[in-house]
Amino acid sequence: MSSMARARRAVTNNAAVVPRWALQPPPAFPDMSIGLLGGTFDPPHAGHVHISEMALKRLGLDRLWWLVTPGNPLKSPSDMKSFASRLHAARALVRHPRIDVTGFEVATGSAYTADTIAYLRRRYPCTRFVWIMGADNLASFHLWRRNREIMEGVPIAVMDRPGYRLAACASRTSHRFANAYLEETDASGLKSMTPPAWTFLTVPLSSLSSTALREAGLNHN
């Protein structure tokens, strides 16, 4: 099955079970700056909270949204827990007053980041969004569908992760968009920049990962 077919099947399968509170994006207003942290959150853990808090602080954001995706086009749906369980687990974990959990991608009909960003830009044309991702994602970003469109859609903040700094800095994307790089010391201005614009944030590292938790058998439902 193609990655597009897997993504569509994940959206279709989860649309009927998504909680009503997650069908719409959280409130957003003109001139707000909102970070977007997308992922399967399978399972969500303290490391996700840690990088979210660092992004809020270092980037000077008003809020940060966890976008719990209905599926990952690069993974088989059978490898993931149910969307509803991941969504509820994320909401149960988050206690920060400026971090919101949402699963609205189900309602858009797509699990692709490029589609999500395009949807938000249409819906909130005067809100400033910043895409947040780990260094591991930058290393493989050239495999993402319509990756150039993503880079040119919103500023991007790359958060350091153990063992991925060199791979991220040597990635195709970092070389391709080298002229769009913003020094870390100026990261608070990223939200106001016209994309493509990106920065790499060195933060206190957490060794937690969803993959490690699953492999350790700590993700039961």
Per-residue pLDDT of the chain (221 residues; tens, 9 = 90+): 454 455 445 554 555 567 788 889 999 999 999 999 999 999 999 999 999 999 999 999 999 999 999 876 656 556 678 889 999 999 999 999 999 999 999 888 888 999 999 999 999 999 999 999 999 999 999 999 999 999 999 999 999 998 899 999 999 999 999 999 999 999 999 999 999 999 999 987 655 554 554 455 554 33
Cβ atoms of 145 and 114 within 8 Å: the answer is yes
Residues paired with 65 in a beta bridge:
36, 100
φ/ψ of residue 129, rounded to 5: -110, 145
**The whole model's pTM is what?**
0.85
Q: Which CATH superfamily is domain 3-215 in?
A: HUPs (3.40.50.620)
- Taking alpha carbons only, the member of 32, 87, 37 closest to residue 65 is 37
